[in-house]
Amino acid sequence: MSCSRTDERCTRCCAKPPVEGKRMCAPCRKWVKEYDKVYRKKWRQTPAGKAAKKRDNAYARTPPGREYHRTWCTLHKEQRHWLYLARMTGVSVPELKRQFKKQKGKCALCHGKQKVGKRKTLCADHCHATKKFRAFLCFKCNALLGMAMDSIELLERAIKYLRRFK
């Protein structure tokens, strides 16, 4: 479904945000990026927005501001990763953590023990057609499904091929 890029509509379902200032589409629960940009641009033109921008930029350029940001990012690495996964999958952080515990920190396909973080991380697998979160997979298993384009027929043929040359 395609909507005009100039109006403030959801790119997935073309619904308008229900209330001024809300930047999440109510029907499909997706961020409306175009609306978010318009909202931020309008807010930055207000006196409060101009003052906040000036204050934020001034502090960010100072050595204490940069050091604070660097320290905060280092201390909250895992929290930032969970928030990133939640934003990308559209699933809440508690639900993601529940699924991770349910899988016992293992890949859903190969059952290899992994962790959520920068190195040896589990990927949040999702259906490319519906964009729904499925499970956590290790990088190799996620790449396997991605390269197979989520095609069951292709994977079945690959299994037959491997059995033939075993």
Tell me the per-residue pLDDT of 90-120, one tens digit each, with 9 for 90 and over: 899 999 999 999 999 899 999 988 765 555 6
The radius of gyration of the chain's CA atoms, rounded to the nearest angstrom, is 21
The 10s digit of each residue's pLDDT in 44-69 is: 888 888 888 887 777 777 888 888 88
Answer whether residue 40 shows pLDDT above 60.
Answer: yes
Give the pLDDT band of residue 148 (cuts 50, 70, 90): very high
**Spatial contact of 32 and 25, defined as CB atoms under 8 Å apart:** yes
> What single letter denotes the amino acid at residue 4?
S
Residue 63 domain-assigned (yes or no):
no
Residue 46 domain-assigned (yes or no):
yes
Answer whether residue 134 shows pLDDT above 90.
Answer: yes
Residue 32 domain-assigned (yes or no):
yes
- Give residue 97's pLDDT: 93
CATH number at residue 143: 3.40.1800.10
Residue 65 domain-assigned (yes or no):
no
Residue 7 domain-assigned (yes or no):
yes
| Strands (E) located in 56-128 | 122-126
**CA angle at 100 for the pair 98 and 102, rounded to the nearest 5°:** 70
Helix H or strand E encompassing 134: strand 133-138
Give the domain extent around 3.
1-58
Q: What integer is the mean pLDDT of 130-154?
A: 91
List, as one string, the DSSP characters of 93-135.
Answer: HHHHHHHHHHTTTB-TTT--B-BSSSSSBEEEEE-TTT--EEE
Same domain, 80 and 158: yes
Same domain, 96 and 35: no
Same domain, 49 and 96: no
Give the pLDDT band of residue 41 (cuts 50, 70, 90): confident
The C-alpha atoms of residue 73 and residue 61 are separated, in whole angstroms, by: 17
Number of domains the chain contains: 2
Q: Which residues contact 145 (CB under 8 A, 6 or more apart)?
A: 125, 137
| Strands (E) located in 17-58 | none
Same domain, 53 and 89: no
The C-alpha atoms of residue 39 and residue 21 are separated, in whole angstroms, by: 7
**pTM, two decimal places:** 0.59
